[in-house]
Amino acid sequence: MGVKETVKALSVIGIGEIYITGKVKVGGNVKSYPNKRQVLRALFDSYKDCTKCDLHKSRRQVVFGDGNPDSPVVFVGEAPGEEEDIQGKPFVGRAGRYLNEQLKRIGMPRETVYITNVNKCRPPGNRKPNYIEMQACLPYLRKELSIINPKVICCLGATAAEGILGKKIQITKMRGQLFPYPYNPSVKVFLTFHPAFILRNLNAEGEFIEDLIKLKEIVKGGL
Ligand code: SF4
């Protein structure tokens, strides 16, 4: 499929603008940047002052994704917490440090992967983002994912999975499984627990590590 046809096909599913690296431009819809980091920076600049949902009222700052933009796997959580809101980076609080430990333990260190959230602003009191807030923010995540174009999107917890897959998720039953990404079926979506859940339920730690090891095998092409 050529660039024009791709832009037309994406517009049918609601993606009116795509970002690609290189020097290709079609009309006003495709922007050209020399590398993914710069494309991501341009995307972030486009919504760092966003007020599309009520979460902007209590945030300190918008928290964009972080990590290796060439990673074959992108981890997606639900929203920033207090520490993330202060530092402006995703997964830097207690749950993030725990995730880092487990990623290091399985030989997939954090600096080699990319991590982001469905919602880019902290919900007050660390509550879950609601449906309206998620729908307002999901277009940013979809653009972020289209730029990185990973092999696998790993959803951390049911809220992130519901945002990405657009359906009700029972994480205890659906964890460890692969699903097609609705906006690009060649990208797979893998589900596991949120690390904050594991910190509250250490009896599920073994399943979480089992999932991460399976994810690593999928990324390597072994499964
Ligand atoms: S959560 Fe997303 S949609 Fe809502 S204000 Fe923040 S950036 Fe905008």
Which protein residue's CA is at the shortest distance from atom 6 of ligand 1? 121
What is the domain partition of the chain in residue ranges?
A: 1-34, 35-220
Calculate mean pLDDT across residues 18-28.
Answer: 49
Q: From the CA of 110, how far away is ligand 1's center (Å)?
A: 25
Give the model's confidence band at 143: pLDDT under 50 very low, under 70 low, under 90 confident, else very high: very high
Which protein residue's CA is at the shortest distance from atom 4 of ligand 1? 53
Q: From the CA of 174, how far away is ligand 1's center (Å)?
A: 28
With a 6 Å cutoff on the Cβ, whether 47 touches ligand 1 is: yes
Calculate mean pLDDT across residues 122-136.
Answer: 96
With a 6 Å cutoff on the Cβ, whether 50 touches ligand 1 is: yes
Give the model's confidence band at 44: pLDDT under 50 very low, under 70 low, under 90 confident, else very high: very high
Output the six-digit token pair for 165: 């897959």
Taking a C-beta distance cutoff of 8 angstroms, is the pair 30, 7 a contact? yes
Counting other chains too, the contacts that 94-102 makes at CB distance below 8 Å and 24 or more residues apart are 94/196, 94/199, 95/194, 95/195, 95/196, 95/199, 96/195, 98/195, 98/198, 98/199, 99/75, 99/156, 99/195, 102/195, 102/208, 102/209, 102/212
* E strand residue ranges, 47-162: 66-67, 73-77, 114-117, 152-156
With a 6 Å cutoff on the Cβ, whether 53 touches ligand 1 is: yes
Q: What is the largest CA-CA distance in the chain?
A: 54
Is the pLDDT at 25 greater than 50? The verdict is: no
**Which value, in Å, is the radius of gyration of the alpha carbons in the chain?**
17
Which amino acid does the sequence have at 154?
C
With a 6 Å cutoff on the Cβ, whether 106 touches ligand 1 is: no
Fold designation for 35-220: Uracil-DNA Glycosylase, subunit E (3.40.470)
Output the six-digit token pair for 122: 């902290």
Q: From the CA of 140, how far away is ligand 1's center (Å)?
A: 9
